[in-house]
Structure 1
Amino acid sequence: MTYRDLPGEVARLLELLGAPPRLAAHLRLVHDVAWDLTGWLAGAHPEVVFDRAAVLFGAATHDVGKVVFPEELSVPGVRHEAAGRELLSARGVPERLARFAGTHGSWGAAGVGVEDLLVSVADKVWKAKRVEDLELLLTGRIAVASGVAMWEAFLSLDDCLQELAAGADERLAFQNGFPV
């Protein structure tokens, strides 16, 4: 399978930071899933207003803080979230884009928008992980914006996520082909 390349500015940033190859592979995969997820949302629910370019940048950079905390490539941790946000901000990335490094793991926080939820969902479903409370938050945003019942929005999102999750084994194999 072929995955979309990371945006050029992100690839250059990762190279400059000396990002481990596995981190770059992971970011590429989440970006690829976000591309498909945002394409689906724009087509299936055009009433949902969101910044697709911001979501794609967020997906491509959400774990950049793992450059500072590389152990979090192998074990769970959250220190990379604040570190990633700070790292991006220090390199001149606007806060509206740097924020995804911090919000991708805290989707229940105040001020989290549709874009943040999309990055978080992409970061889960790339490996076929489904998180009910996260998906319900996104479902609610879709239902309200589209004027459809919650169950209808959920079924629509669920169909998309099942299709995306179906490629998880190939994506995991791709990522695992790169050294930490």
Structure 2
Amino acid sequence: MSRRLTAALTDGDLAPLPAAAVAHLEVLHAPPRLAAHLRAVHDVAHRLTDGLAGQLAFDRELVLFGAAVHDIGKVRHPQELSGPGHAHEPAGYALLLERGEPEPRARTARDHASWTRPDIRTEDLLIALADKIWKAKRVPDLEDLLIDRLAGADRWSAFLRLDDLLQDLADDADARLAFQSAHPIAH
């Protein structure tokens, strides 16, 4: 593993990625910038799931794994590390399947940006939300989908709880952006 990839995976105060995600990134020789981004989103997902524990039914391990690999398809589409594009989503799904991940785990790479699908899982909504809020981007339509699942009979209380949590997460965005920017796009 390159020194730069090691630094992206270990430097700073962000939560460490799951071992399976690290193994994929190592074998695929992931660019350090990608690893840094995945750590930033994973760290937010970690805090987001902590904040929602007991309020919403979801598979925390799946959310954390998904946040740690959601953009893994960018190893096949590196131009999407610094520019727009969605080719990495199906590529990441295929890549994770090729590497032996079960379909529900592989779906996280494909579905993290497809949160308007009618069959979207709560876990994918949480990954999508972590992928937005890590840089303090608020997406009301995405947040509304999660509020609907949180609300039960009291939508306003669910909104307030989620809004407070997301604001707390957004407050640290500058540090996460600086962490990601400190790691090069290329090896």
Q: Name the TM-score, length of structure 1 as normaliser.
A: 0.95
Q: Specify the alignment match of 1:166 in structure 2.
A: 171
Between 108-117 and 58-67, the greater mean CA deviation after superposition:
108-117
Which of 90, 99, 105 aligns to 2:98? It is: 90
Kindly state the Cα deviation for residue 110 of structure 1 after the two structures are TM-superposed: 2.1
Q: Specify the alignment match of 2:128 in structure 1.
A: 120
Q: Map 1:83-162 to 2 at 5 A.
A: 83-144=91-152, 148-162=153-167
- 2:46 counterpart of 1:38: no
Q: How many residues align structurally?
A: 174
Amino acid at match of 1:170: A
Kindly state the Cα deviation for residue 5 of structure 1 after the two structures are TM-superposed: 1.1
Q: Map 1:65-84 to 2 at 5 A.
A: 65-84=73-92
Which of 20, 23, 28 aligns to 2:31? It is: 20
Identity %: 57
Over the aligned positions, Cα root-mean-square deviation in angstroms equals 0.9
Q: Name the TM-score, length of structure 2 as normaliser.
A: 0.91
Which of 60, 63, 67 aligns to 1:52? It is: 60
CA distance in 1, matches of 2:55, 2:132: 24
After superposition, the C-alpha distances for 1:41-87 in whole angstroms (9 at most, x for unaligned) are 00xxx142110000000000000000000000000110000000000
Say which SS state the counterpart of residue 30 (structure 1) adopts.
helix
CA distance in 2, matches of 1:157, 1:73: 29
Say which SS state the counterpart of residue 99 (structure 1) adopts.
helix
CA distance in 2, matches of 1:92, 1:69: 20
